[in-house]
A and B are shown apart, each in its own frame.
Chain A
């Protein structure tokens, strides 16, 4: 049973560029959340998708956007990249978006902005 997968593993971009990160949830999961983990910090919630709609959003600017496809996979898009966007981006999936459902995390995509 495949867990959460993310692509690519690493990515290097230049300031001002745009990037798309991809996530496939654990089999049977229908909810995908994205987190940003800066070096030396805990992950911060970006947003969550359920039934192809953004259900919750953290304190991130509109430069961060996402999408969920009918097969529950998801993309995270970041426009106009800043140096401060350099981080590990984690995707997590869960069986539903209700209280207490544990989230299963992928290995992450390491984004470096130069």
Chain B
């Protein structure tokens, strides 16, 4: 079985400061890891993915994520947060037998001006 944990329900950060959203995973074998963002009353938007290769993955809107196999983590980062980054962020994993996603519970990000 595969699972994802997002230990923080909410992250508060001031605009212009670095943003980090934490994610840890549990899966047998090599994971495929994803980050999605959800704005109110909207579906999920794909931000980035890790399949293999470089542990630092760059994605949309200035976001990046670092894959750490030893810590089974895939934290999302942004060097300078914007108010418009305020949203709900989901980490997800897929492994084997297709690309079905197992999601974490989500982390709400609030960026204050």
Q: Which residues of A approach B to under 8 Å, CB–CB? A: 4, 31, 33, 35, 41-45, 48, 55-56, 58, 90, 92, 94, 96-108
Contact = CB atoms under 8 A, between A and B. Distances in A.
B103 A44 contact: yes
Given A100-B49, A102-B49, A105-B46, 17 more contacts: A4-B43, A31-B99, A33-B99, A41-B105, A42-B104, A48-B99, A48-B100, A55-B98, A58-B100, A90-B44, A99-B94, A99-B95, A99-B99, A100-B94, A103-B46, A103-B99, A107-B43
A17 B70 CA distance: 49
Chain A contact residues: over half helix, strand or loop, or mixed? loop
B45 interface: yes
B110 to A, nearest CB: 16
The interface centre, meaning the residue of B98, B102, B106 with most chain A CB atoms within 10 A of its CB, is B98
A101 B99 contact: yes
Interface in B56-74: none
- With a 10 A CB-CB cut-off, give which of A42, A101, A103, A108 has the most chain B CB atoms: A42
A108 B43 CA distance: 6
25 contacts: A33-B99, A33-B101, A41-B105, A42-B4, A42-B104, A43-B44, A43-B90, A43-B101, A45-B100, A45-B101, A45-B102, A48-B98, A48-B99, A56-B98, A90-B43, A90-B44, A92-B44, A97-B98, A99-B51, A99-B96, A100-B99, A102-B34, A102-B46, A105-B45, A105-B46
Contacts of B43: 4, 90, 105-108
B106 to A, nearest CB: 5
B7 to A, nearest CB: 14
Given A105-B43, A107-B43, A42 B94 contact: no
Interface string B41-55: 111111001010000
B103 A42 contact: yes
A88 to B, nearest CB: 9
Contact of A98 (B44, B46, B99, B102): B99
Nearest to B91: A42
B36 A98 contact: no
Contact of A42 (B51, B96, B106): B106
